[in-house]
Chain A
Amino acid sequence: MNNLSYSTQRKIILIGFLALPLALLALFTYYPAVRLVVQSFTDWDGISDSSRWIGFDNYKEVFVNPDLFGVFLNQIPYVIIGIIQNIIAILFAVILNSKLRGRNGFRVMLFLPFIMNAVAVAFMFQYVFDTTNGSLNALLGCLGLESLQQSWLGNESIVNFSLASIGLWRFMGYNMVIYLGAMQSIPGDMYEAAKIDGAGRFQTLWHLTLPNLTKIIQLNMFLTISGALAVFDLPFVLTKGGPAGASETFLMKTIETAFQFNNFGLASAMSVVLLIITALLLGIQNAVIGKGGDKA
């Protein structure tokens, strides 16, 4: 390649380096997205060669049928627990960002759940939540709190909170490490200055640390909400959407509509709806964070 001019080399590099990645991008991202939209206006069953154009019927079905759009209500507990998870993560990050013996040890411990296999964790909690043999009910029994013993995954009004708290267990440490990283990038002389001005511990936290975390808190909040919109693994593995559909999620419904009921048209419309909601959320996120960035 050495004896070619740089402008020829440039062309070769551009074509050679971009052709394959662009082909993959087109094939696995944009082609499916376009197909999804087209399919969402048809009654395709996933097998036949032909399908009928039915306009907006699938979309009407998504919004009118309470069994479909209504399952988003099941996902509200994931948002609530997600917010709690971020609050706990900030609390622990603040604690571990201070002078403390055994700081690294505690950081290693609290982050540990994040590196465990998600499915193994799910089954570990199936054991924790089991009604008769489960360790949570046994623990409550030891503490004399028999009245709180529950069928954690079998009670319709609790099941989503139980599932969401598995997420809290797994991801709290991850959020904490991210907050800790953001805190460590706050310049030390700002803390010096606060000290000289006579600020106490809580004043420093409230007026210095938290304001500097605004951007990353916003980011984590949006990740929490978009994560809650796309919940799938935990109910899929542990409850199959039960009891009586109480833990079904929109994505589970979508997958089920396609692969069990062979209604690819409707499933595509559901995917498009989820995509649009996610894209809207991201648009709002960029607007909010962009604004926050201007001020800082």
Chain B
Amino acid sequence: MTTTRRWDPVQTLKYVLLIIGAFAVFFPPYVVFVNAFKGPDEGASPFALPASFLNFDNFATVMERANILQAFSNTFIIVAASLAGNVLLGTMVAYALGRFDFKGKNVILGAFLFATIIPTITTQVVVFSLIQSMGLYNSLSAPILLFIGADVIQIYIYLQFIRNIPYELDESGMIDGASLFRIYRSIIFPLLGPATATLVILKTINIYNELYIPFLYMPKQELVVVSTSIMRFAGNNQAQWGFICAAILIIMIPTVLLYLFLQKYIFSGVMNGAVKG
């Protein structure tokens, strides 16, 4: 073993590839970033720096016209309500199916698992009339209900996790005279915490990105979410890149910041979701 460092071509190649990759990742956001600060008559080159990074005109226009704040608050409400429903119902089903044996259990289990393979967007043709007949068209309840009711991946994730919680814990609870509900609430629910973290991360990303459900069920102006707000704004301001770039930037910055703070949890959530789901 030598301690002196020799020049290693493979190591160099690795860095070259990584830098190319990083360039490909940052090239589009860089262009968006610099152009968000440019006025309409500022230079033709998309790469050039703006005259001033203190020119917030585009941002002011976006805030005024695109309803961004409303979009963030609606998105937040939908994500929070859907997650609460998913976590609650998901853990309940996992407890009932993972801890008890009863007639028909396998049928129910199969029904939940088979549902995961039906792509929700294919059934929208029918679900749309259903939502309309329930009187939920053009309300925040429509996407919330669909994210809770029509997506069952959480049940799959929780069922995988609950198997690893030893049944002796339930038994010792019963010896102490705890009710089954209490065992669910004080033992199972907290121990499913890692699964809940995985779920929160995956679902937040999915719901935040979802375009079609809000587009179809909430055309009303005040019910705009992040995805539909940028779509409408870009549609109304075709090829006005300064405005569009500012809108993109406003939408991206909060999630990028969250990502930088929570990266550890996001990586482990994505990995768990892939291996378990």
A153: interface (CB < 8 Å):
no
In-complex Cβ contact of B205 among A9, A35, A115 (8 A): A115
Bound together, the chains give a CA A117 to CA B112 distance in angstroms of 29
State A17–B93 Cα separation when bound (angstroms).
6
Partner of B17, one of A17, A92, A112: A92
Contact of A178 among B128, B245, B255, B274 (CB under 8 A): B274
Nearest CB of chain B from residue A282's CB, rounded to whole Å: 5
Q: Are B149 and A28 in contact (CB under 8 A)?
A: yes
Tell me if B121 is interfacial: C-beta within 8 Å of chain A: yes
Contact B152 A25 (CB under 8 A): yes
Closest 8 CB pairs of A and B: A24-B149, A181-B271, A32-B126, A32-B123, A17-B92, A28-B150, A118-B209, A1-B179
B27, A135: Cβ atoms under 8 Å? yes
CB <8 Å contact, B251 and A117: yes
A120 to B231, CA, bound (A): 8
Within 8 A of A (CB), among B92-135: 92-93, 95-97, 100, 102, 108, 111-112, 115, 117-119, 121-130
- In the complex, what residues of A have CB within 8 A of residue B155's CB? 21
Contact of B275 among A39, A91, A135, A181 (CB under 8 A): A181
CA distance A140 to B274 in the complex (A): 37
Interchain CB contact (< 8 A) of B45 among A30, A138, A219, A271: A138
Chain B residue numbers with a CB within 8 Å of A124 are 28-29, 32, 248
Query: Which residues 169-190 in A have Cβ within 8 Å of B in the complex?
Result: 169, 173-174, 177-178, 180-182, 185
When distances are taken between beta carbons in the complex, the residues of chain B under 8 Å from A182 are 275
B107 CB → nearest A CB, Å: 11
Question: In the complex, A14 Cα to B99 Cα: how many Å?
Answer: 10
Query: Which of A54-62, A64-72, A78-86, A126-134 is near enough to bind chain B?
Result: A126-134
Residues of A within 8 A of B22 (CB): 106, 109-110
Residues of B within 8 A of A106 (CB): 18, 21-22
Chain A 13-43 interface 0/1 with B at a Cβ cutoff of 8 Å (1 = within): 1100110111011011111110110010000
Please measure, in the bound complex, the distance between the C-alpha atom of A119 and the C-alpha atom of B184, giving whole angstroms: 40
| Contact assessment for A135 and B126 in the assembled complex, using a CB-CB cutoff below 8 Å | no
Chain B 41-67 interface residues, beta-carbon cutoff 8 Å to A: 44-47
B119 x A274 contact (CB < 8 A): yes
Stretch of B76-84, B160-168, B190-198, B259-267 on the interface side: B259-267
Interface residue stretch chosen among A144-152, A155-163, A251-259, A287-295: A251-259
A226 vs B119: C-alpha distance when bound (angstroms): 10
Binds B, one of A191-199, A206-214, A230-238: A230-238
Q: Are A6 and B245 in contact (CB under 8 A)?
A: no
B130 touching A125, Cβ below 8 Å? no
* B31 close to A6 (CB less than 8 A): no
Q: Note all chain B residues with C-beta closer than 8 A to A1.
A: 179-182
Residue of A108, A116, A181, A232 contacting most chain B CB atoms (<10 Å): A116
Give chain A's interface residue range (CB within 8 Å of chain B).
35 or more
**Are A25 and B149 neighbours in the complex by a CB distance under 8 Å?**
yes
Q: Shortest CB–CB separation between residue B231 and chain A, in angstroms?
A: 6
Contact yes or no, A278 B119, CB < 8 A: yes
**Could you tell me if A91 and B17 are in contact, using CB atoms closer than 8 angstroms?**
yes
A92-B18, A138-B45 given as contacts; is B184 within 8 A of A128 (CB)? no
Contact indicator per residue, chain A 225-252, by CB within 8 Å of chain B (1) or not (0): 0100010110011000000000000010
Q: Is the CB of B150 within 8 A of A95?
A: no
| Chain A residue at minimal CB-CB distance from B48 | A138
Question: A260 at interface (Cβ–Cβ under 8 A)?
Answer: no
The docked-state distance in angstroms from the alpha carbon of A9 to that of B174 is 12
Q: Are A17 and B244 in contact (CB under 8 A)?
A: no
Other-chain contact of A17, B44, B95, B241, B259 (Cβ < 8 Å): B95
Give every chain B residue within 8 A of A259 (Cβ-Cβ): 128
CB distance from B217 to the nearest CB of A (A): 12
* Interchain CB contact under 8 A, A115 and B266: yes
A1 to B209, CA, bound (A): 42
Does B169 belong to the interface (CB within 8 Å)?
no
The reply to whether A21 and B270 contact each other, CB–CB distance below 8 Å, is no
**Are A123 and B248 closer than 8 Å at their CB atoms?**
yes
The reply to whether the CB of A113 lies closer than 8 angstroms to some CB of chain B is yes
